[in-house]
A = this chain, B = another copy of it.
Amino acid sequence: MAEQPAAASGSGDPPQPEQPSKNALKKAQKEKEKAEKKAAAQARELAERQKKEAADAEDVSKDSYGELPLIGSAAFKPTGTPRIDLSTAADNEDKEVTFRCWVENARVQSAKLAFVNLRQGLNTVQAVAAATDGVSKQMVKFCGNVSTESTLVVTGLVKRVKEPIKSASIKDFEIHILKLFVEVKAEVPLPLQVEDAERPLPESGLGDEDEKQTESNAKPLVGLNTRLNNRTLDLRAKINHAIFVIKSGVCALFQEFLSQKGFVLIQTPKILGAASEGGANVFEVKYFDRQAYLAQSPQFYKQMLIASRFQKVMEIGPVFRAENSNTARHLTEFTGLDLEMEFQEHYHEVMSVLEDLMLFIFKELNARYKKETELVRSAYHVEDFKLPESGKVPRIPFQEGIKMLREAGEELGDYDDLSTPQEKHLGRLVLEKYNSDFYVLDQFPLAIRPAYTMPSPHNPELSNSYDMFMRGQEILSGAQRIHNAELLAEQMRKHDPPIDPNGPGTKEYVDSFRYGCPPHGGGGFGLERIVQFWLGLPNIRMCSLFPRDPQRVTP
């Protein structure tokens, strides 16, 4: 209703019409125009609202997409819709499937077409939201705009494609989206692109200074520190999933092989009352009102268990080394794969078990973890791991190793320890001669081994001890141990630096050999090193979920 001029309203009697003034006429005209405009605007608004409502009503897909509420496990009736593993996609051709996955990336191609690259585990698949499939344009738009790394629940048809899809691991099928719900939305922007974490590390290795553009593809090569600082995103990369699936596999294979041989899995204490193994490189712990230490290895305890007649023991556990070593193959906390066993007549019985164990692990990694191994090695262009065709692991006496190195031009004494470059050099020589990336050095000089090492019966300068190597790098150190308390005490006193056989922690260890402990030997593998050298990775930090080194104790 148009407004009346204020003056028009008055007393009880109806007012006589006045002749309107020119101004008043103008005013009235304006009011009228205003009113008309307003009415038109309202009409437009209404029309638009009606149009929009009509359009919403047209969104045939409105129940097929959107954001789900936070799953708090309310007593909703679970849909019970089975959710498939994407690895079974090919078995479901032309069928409707539902699965949880996450977004690698999404893009709107046109008003009627959007693509979403989906991932689940190591599998990726292309999904299409197409208006032609009876999906609304609104839904197409929604699908093409879901944020990278969001978790989705998708329902779709599995359809064969004509051309293989290069960008996905599932190449012959794609998903025609019927429903797409964002279960958990990822914030934008991501501090690290998972895509960047998929690419190999820049050569220069560790530092953040190595964030650089390569000329060829102009994509940033993100350095290890940046990756480790954003480790939970970094770990989402397929290459990282593959590394840790393999690492899990090595543990499983280690136990599978050894438990078949009668080994008992043990847990030895990590908090020690004394820094019994020599004292250097030990982390101190405040233990209530006294000082304690973190175990550098389960060495003393696994031997004490042999003295307790456990015959064959294995352990998978953390090992702590307070070494200020900032190299590509040292960690301050790593996982030790340890074993110790009695033997009957000769410590080579133990070496045989160790060799057979590793051959089993390598064989089964090739069989059961082929996909993961190839995924990682192909990113780093790493050669296959060579194993001796004869099935016989090269056992090279340390003296023979020295000789090979000297013949190749290295200068070193008969009883010198090998430097890391010399070890790698020897690795190349052994590969040439024996065509094997795995081998054993036996009979190390006594002086460079721990005090509990059994001296060699052939040469007092040598010992019944061995290291195992992969691609020229040490993965295990082991030996026959002294099982006689008197000899052990004597060797401890003679050791450089000397160890007090009656000291705290050592006395109990030495005493455990007074009551009939059988002859025994063993060794300790570094789990991360096995994974690193199996895959040929440039840095051991890549093989630890949350690596610890002198500079890093987070996240």
Contact = CB atoms under 8 A, between A and B. Distances in A.
Interface of A: 70-76, 78-79, 83, 100, 102-103, 121, 147, 149-151, 183-187, 190, 231-233, 235-236, 240-241, 244-245, 247-248, 251-252, 255, 259, 264-274, 283-288, 290, 292, 294, 301, 304-305, 307-311, 316-318, 320, 322, 324, 332-333, 335, 342, 344-348, 454-458, 464, 480, 483-484, 487, 504-505, 508-509, 511-512, 514-519, 527, 544-546, 548, 550, 553-555
A554 B269 CA distance: 9
Chain A facing B: main interface SS: loop
Given A73-B346, A248-B266, 4 more contacts: A72-B456, A184-B484, A269-B545, A509-B555
B232 A512 contact: yes
Nearest to A458: B75
A151 B187 contact: no
B121 A184 contact: no
A454 B73 contact: yes
A270 B270 contact: yes
22 contacts: A72-B455, A72-B457, A72-B464, A73-B347, A100-B344, A151-B517, A184-B484, A184-B516, A184-B519, A187-B515, A232-B515, A233-B308, A233-B515, A235-B309, A244-B310, A248-B259, A252-B259, A269-B544, A269-B548, A271-B283, A287-B322, A288-B322
Contact of A309 (B102, B185, B255, B515): B102
A231 B512 CA distance: 9
A345 B283 contact: no
Contacts of A74: 457-458
Contacts of A240: 308
| Most B CB within 10 A of own CB, among A150, A255, A347 | A255
A418 to B, nearest CB: 23
A70 B484 contact: yes
| Most B CB within 10 A of own CB, among A186, A345, A348 | A345
Contact of A241 (B71, B310, B544, B554): B310
B515 A267 contact: no
Number of copies: 2
Given A235-B305, A269-B548, A518-B100, A483 B75 contact: no
A518 B83 contact: no
Given A74-B457, A187-B514, A518-B184, A264 B248 contact: yes
A342 to B, nearest CB: 8
Contacts of A455: 72
A305 B255 CA distance: 23
Contact of A264 (B245, B255, B335): B245
Nearest to A504: B554
A444 to B, nearest CB: 14
A346 B187 contact: no
B270 A308 contact: no
Contacts of A75: 457-458
Contacts of A231: 304, 308
